[in-house]
Each structure stands twice: as C-alpha cells, then as structure tokens.
C-alpha cells in the first residue's frame, strides 16, 4: 500500500525573477489524477558537505553528554540522532542522517540541538559552549531561557546592554525590547569593569538578545501591553 505522502527527488533546472523551475520524475500518473494533485511542497536541500570542524564539534558535544549520562558515545550519538529526527521528522523526510555525509545546514541544526540539550539539562562541559556554535544568538537565547551564563554555563543573572540607569527600579520599567546577556556574577562584574564593547570583542559576541514577552515572563519583568484594537 502506497504511503499517503508521495515524495520524489527533483532537480533545479532554472531560476529567474525569483521563480524556481524544477524537473522531477513521477511514474504514477493515475495516482496524481485520483488524488487531484495540483500543488507540491519543495524542500531545498543544502548541497554543501559538512566541515571537519562541524563534525568534531558534534562529537565533542556528544562526548560531554555521554560522560554526564554514563553511557558510551555510540549509544548517545544514536539516541540524540533519533531525538533530533523525531523533532524534525517533516524536514528529514523520514530518513536518518549520518554525521559522515549529511549536508552542512542539517548538521549545523543538529549541533544547535545538542547545545540546547546540554543547556536545558545543566550538563557540565570541559569547554565553553560559546565556542561550539555557529548560531550564537540561538545559543544565547537558550541560555536566557534556562538562566545560564553564555560564557561559563553557570547560573546567570541578566546583564542589560541597554543600561537601566541609576535610580530606576528595573521592576517598574518596560524590559521588552531591551538588549540583554545572561552572565554569571564573575562575568557580569567583568563586563561592567571593561565596558560592553570591549567585553563583546573579548568573547566574540556581536550583540545581546532583545527581550521578548517570553523572556520577560521568565524573569518576572514588565513587557509591553497587548494592543487588541
């Protein structure tokens, strides 16, 4: 019995004025007529191969998870791949990927998945996770969600890149839209001593994260009122 989802592999043959022309084989014309197929969804597949740095980073992250759980690296690798696959089932088209030949963008997403898992479970690492991510903003946001320092991984408070100002009660002002970083006390003090610009350059940070309603709720800070007009 044929699966209700019919997937074929196609090739981009032309691209003009923002429109892709795709050639794809299909040997079941009666099925197309029966199902009245008129539209398709196109998944753009990254043709770049993953880099050695990506592969090493993934294995290093898996190694830290394995050490924390007490399981061997091979078992943890397969477990984390299955968890990632379950979360991205639609994108992966029911195929388990390999760290030996997966596309660069897919492995980058898996790498972010591993980092989020480590942050959310407070898994100790021998290295700063800041050096293991290509999407620094995604990592810092995960640290903010779980109140972890983006440099050390320890418990963190909010550092306001947009300074609250002397004499202002931070619980009374609107924090949504303000730029922040999650920093432990040690790095919070260092940032205040050095200044934001020098601190950002030292740790290769481009910017902080803009507070949204979710972060305001987590930290018990005021967000903008919803406008239902």
Query: What does the pLDDT look like over 18-41, one tens digit per residue?
Result: 888 888 888 888 888 888 888 887
Please indicate, yes or no, if residue 158 is contained in any of the structural domains: yes
Residue 187 confidence (pLDDT): 96
What tokens appear for 60 in the block? 């290093």
Across 6-15, 86-95, 141-150, which has the greatest mean pLDDT?
141-150
Nearest CA-CA partner of 208 in 155, 144, 119: 144
CA separation for the pair 31, 29 (Å, rounded): 5
CA separation for the pair 133, 118 (Å, rounded): 12
Residue 168 confidence (pLDDT): 53
pLDDT (average), residues 38-45: 76
Residue 117 confidence (pLDDT): 95
Residue 141 DSSP SS3:
helix
Q: Torsion over CA of 161, 152, 201 and 111, rounded to 10 degrees? A: -100
Residue 1 confidence (pLDDT): 43
Residue 166 confidence (pLDDT): 46
Residue 164 DSSP SS3:
coil
Please indicate, yes or no, if residue 167 is contained in any of the structural domains: yes
pLDDT averaged over every residue in the chain: 84
Please indicate, yes or no, if residue 200 is contained in any of the structural domains: yes
Residue 162 confidence (pLDDT): 67
Name residue 11's beta-bridge partners.
23
pLDDT (average), residues 47-58: 77
The number of CA neighbours under 13 Å toward the Cβ of 151 is 19
Higher pLDDT, 2 or 97: 97
Please indicate, yes or no, if residue 140 is contained in any of the structural domains: yes
**Which stretch of DSSP H or E encloses residue 22?**
strand 19-23
Please indicate, yes or no, if residue 131 is contained in any of the structural domains: no
Residue 71 DSSP SS3:
coil
CA separation for the pair 180, 37 (Å, rounded): 49
Please indicate, yes or no, if residue 225 is contained in any of the structural domains: yes
72: confidence class by pLDDT, cuts 50, 70, 90:
very high
Please indicate, yes or no, if residue 213 is contained in any of the structural domains: yes
Residue 169 confidence (pLDDT): 53
CA separation for the pair 157, 174 (Å, rounded): 17
**Residue numbers of the domain that contains 175:** 136-229
- Answer for the pair 46, 105: CB distance below 8 angstroms, yes or no: yes
Please indicate, yes or no, if residue 224 is contained in any of the structural domains: yes
CA separation for the pair 87, 180 (Å, rounded): 29
Number of domains in the chain: 1
Strands 157-160 and 179-183, bridge-based pairing: antiparallel
């Amino acid at each position: 019995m044929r699966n209700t989802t019919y997937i074929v592999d196609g090739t981009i043959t032309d691209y003009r004025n923002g429109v892709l022309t795709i050639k794809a084989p299909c040997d079941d014309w009666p099925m197309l007529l029966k199902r009245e197929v008129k539209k398709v969804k196109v998944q753009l597949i990254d043709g770049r191969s993953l880099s050695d740095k990506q592969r090493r980073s993934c294995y290093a992250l898996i190694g830290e998870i394995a050490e924390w759980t007490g399981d061997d690296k091979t078992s943890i690798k397969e477990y984390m791949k299955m968890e990632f696959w379950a979360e991205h089932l639609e994108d992966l088209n029911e195929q388990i990927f390999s760290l030996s030949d997966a596309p660069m963008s897919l492995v980058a997403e898996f790498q972010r998945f591993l980092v989020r898992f480590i942050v959310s479970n407070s898994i100790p690492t021998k290295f700063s996770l800041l050096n293991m991510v290509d999407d620094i903003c995604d990592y810092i946001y995960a640290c903010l969600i779980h109140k972890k320092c983006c440099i050390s991984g320890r418990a963190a408070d909010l550092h306001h890149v947009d300074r609250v100002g002397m004499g202002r009660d931070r619980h009374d002002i609107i924090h949504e839209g303000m730029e922040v970083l999650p920093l432990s006390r040690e790095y919070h003090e260092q940032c205040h001593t050095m200044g934001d610009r020098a601190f950002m350059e030292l740790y290769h940070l481009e910017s902080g994260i803009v507070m949204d309603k979710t972060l305001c709720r987590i930290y018990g800070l005021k967000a903008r009122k919803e406008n239902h007009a």
